[in-house]
Amino acid sequence: MVKSTSVQVFLVITVISFLGLLVLHQSLNFGAFSKASKFIRKSVLAEQSSEEVPDGISEFRQSTDDPIDFQEKTEEALPSNRPRLPKALIIGFSKCGTTALRTFLTLHPDIVSPIEEVRYFNFNYTKGLEWYRRQMPPSTENQITIEKTPSYIMSPIVLQRIYLYDSQVKLIIIIRDPIIRLQSQYAHTYRNAPAGAHKPDFKIWVRGDSSDNRITHFVGYTKYIRQVYDQFPKDQILVLAEEDFEQNPLSVMKEVELFLNLKPAFSKDMFYYNKGKGFYCFNRENEFFPTVLKMVKVNNRTGCLGEDKGRDHPDIDDDFLKELVQFIRPHNEQLFRLIGKRIVWENFE
């Protein structure tokens, strides 16, 4: 009797110990598993976000579904030299010197700019803000990023998107004698036409047809600039003239410097006038030139923008010129009233 009882007690103790050990083992295993799974999740997240360097925590949270992991990152942990979203945009107009304006601005030590038009707010919007940020060159906290896409100005929807992105963003617009702009666009459109290939006469091209009238399209600065004024406060908008910039880039650069609240850094030894090209070009001897080379495409020997700038323009016969001047002049007057300054355009003197 005593013997069978002690056997029973022994069996019960064995079973309990076995169960205890089993529970202990499972819980240890589960702990290890959860640690491992957390580690794997963190690694995946880190990999996903290694290129997506966030500017601000709250902004990044909008695009992640794992706020807990992200809370472990702090602003201090981010590298100071990283891509930052633009604080200023050159939004228009095409063929008005936007490329030269952008490239010359990069000579300022506090300005960085991507080498290509990013076209985020019109053609690449669905790629998201982190994609946009990744297109930017690295910058420090004290530098500002400027992006230029001259087609942004053409659409009110795009302007709304820009406003939603940053209602305080600074906008730079550059305009040019509308007739010269038409000539420039014509030269650009037929730039690759083989010699002897049929090209429409400039007059016919300008008139287009009822669905594609180039005069209204290329002359309509007022309509497009008004849309910008409707969306943004006036003190965030700077309207420049290509003619001023072409003749005296330094004074225009200084105007932009002031508009962007940057310290004065532009100086006349940064540029020189290249007679052959007919434009101001980079002075390659300037101390800032080596730094801007990653952000600009220039001829290595001359420091001038490429062959696609400064093309020959088509001739205009006198009658057609008169017709254009007559049609465009009232539009110019409207424009000058809107922007609050007059611009001297050689075709309208």
Ligand X SMILES: Nc1ncnc2c1ncn2[C@@H]1O[C@H](COP(=O)(O)OS(=O)(=O)O)[C@@H](OP(=O)(O)O)[C@H]1O
Going by C-alpha positions, the residue among 2, 5, 96, 83 that lies closest to residue 309 is 96
The pair of structure tokens assigned to 299 is 């001829």
Residues recognised as catalytic: 95
Beta strands per DSSP E along the chain:
82-83, 88-92, 111-112, 138-139, 144-148, 170-175, 237-241, 271-274, 279-282
**Alpha carbon separation from 142 to 101, 108, 155, 346 (Å, rounded):** 21, 12, 31, 40
Q: Please select the residue that binds ligand X; options are 89, 98, 266, 292, rule is CB under 6 A.
A: 98
207 binds ligand X (CB under 6 A): no
Stretch that binds ligand X, among 17-25, 93-101, 124-132, 152-160 (CB under 6 A): 93-101
Q: Is 309 annotated as a binding residue?
A: yes
Per CB under 6 A, 309 contacts ligand X = yes
> In the complex with ligand X, which residue's Cβ is closer, 105 or 129?
105
Residue whose C-alpha is closest to residue 249's, from 303, 182, 329, 194: 303
**# of chain residues touching ligand X (CB under 6 A):** 19
Contact call for residues 171 and 89 (beta carbons, < 8 A): yes
Q: Which is nearer to ligand X, 116 or 333 (CB)?
A: 116
Report if residue 119 touches ligand X, rule: CB under 6 A: no
Q: Is 149 in the site for ligand X (CB under 6 A)?
A: no
176 labeled part of a ligand binding site: yes
CA dihedral of residues 320, 325, 326, 327 (deg, nearest 10): 90
The smaller minimum CB distance to ligand X, of residues 79 and 276, is found at: 276
Q: Which of 311, 323, 331, 338 contacts ligand X by CB under 6 A?
A: 311
Q: Which residues of 172-197 are buried (b: 16+ CB within 10 A; e: fewer)?
A: bbbbbbbbbbbbbbbbeebeeeeeee
Stretch of 31-39, 291-299, 302-310, 322-330 lying at the interface with ligand X (CB under 6 A): 302-310
Binding piece for ligand X, criterion CB under 6 A, among 48-56, 58-66, 242-250, 255-263: 242-250
Does residue 187 interact with ligand X by CB under 6 A? yes
Element (H, E) at 206: helix 202-207
Q: Which of 89, 96, 154, 253 binds ligand X (CB under 6 A)?
A: 96
Cβ neighbourhood burial of 283 (10 Å; 0-12, 13-18, 19+):
middle
Q: From 33-41, 70-78, 91-99, 223-231, give the range in contact with ligand X by CB under 6 A.
A: 91-99
55 binds ligand X (CB under 6 A): no
Q: Give the residue, chosen from 53, 310, 320, 331, that forms a contact with ligand X under the rule CB under 6 A.
A: 310
Assess 106 for contact with ligand X (CB under 6 A).
no
**108, exposed or middle or buried, with CB in 10 Å at 0-12, 13-18, 19+?**
buried
What is the rounded CA–CA span in Å between residue 54 and residue 63? 10
Nearer to ligand X, 119 or 309 (CB): 309
- Which residues are annotated binding-site positions? 176, 184, 280, 309-313
Residue numbers at the binding site for ligand X (CB under 6 A)? 94-100, 150, 184, 187, 242, 245-246, 279-280, 305, 309-311
